[in-house]
Amino acid sequence: GAGLTLALACASMLLGCGYSLAGKANSLPPEVKTVFLLPLENRTARSQVEQFLGRAIADELVRRQRLTLVSDRTKADSLLSGAIVGFNVVPVTFDDQGRALRYEITILAELALKRRVPEGVLWSNDRYVFRDNYEIEVSERDYFDRETLVIRRVAEKFAETAVTDLLEGF
């Protein structure tokens, strides 16, 4: 009825204005088929954060199958590099004794995809900001283990967004 007609009209207007379905657009040149992921640089005091993010990006590239991840730099059409430039954990809620119950984690990163030959930047973003919250029991002794789990979860979100941006050019 009228609802379906309205929905179809809205959808066609959105598609006509340059919007597209996620996963369908592609901003990379067609000859760029392979990528070598350089180890991410860690410019923060938090150890291993670059390893978690690098692993998540590699997994996401493999999952998407648009670019083939290669282990030999000389066989890659493009090079993906980046740095973790900020890492922060702050308490956001407290109990009656002033002990933190919930924390917010923030990760700031830079990424760039460059053509290997001839050299040139294909895509970059130097202001990726990711945040997530997590609760901790006051009696917990495994604070850093809990933080590591949250970093892994944030890394997956980070990778999904970064690879989408890289592939779709948003």
Distance of alpha carbon 87 from alpha carbon 105, whole angstroms:
7
DSSP of 90-146, one letter per residue? EEEEE-TTS-EEEEEEEEEEEEEEEETTTTEEEEEEEEEEEEEEEE--TT-S-HHHH
The predicted-structure confidence for 50-82, as pLDDT tens digits, reads as follows 999 999 999 999 999 899 999 999 999 999 999
The predicted-structure confidence for 86-125, as pLDDT tens digits, reads as follows 999 888 998 898 888 888 889 899 999 999 999 999 999 8
Confidence of residue 142 (pLDDT cuts 50, 70, 90): low
Predicted model pTM: 0.74
Give pLDDT, residue 19. 33
**pLDDT, average across residues 37-41:** 97
Tokens 């954060």 label which residue?
49
CB atoms within 10 A of CB 71: 8
Checking if the pLDDT of 7 tops 80, the result is no
Query: What does DSSP assign to residue 78?
Result: E
Angle at 95 between CA 136 and CA 91, to 5 degrees: 55
Task: Return the higher-pLDDT residue of 132 and 147.
Answer: 132
Task: Return the higher-pLDDT residue of 53 and 132.
Answer: 53
Strands 41-42 and 78-94 come out as parallel
Residues with Cβ within 8 Å of 113's Cβ and at least 6 positions away in sequence, in order, are 28, 35, 78, 79, 80, 121, 122, 123, 124, 166
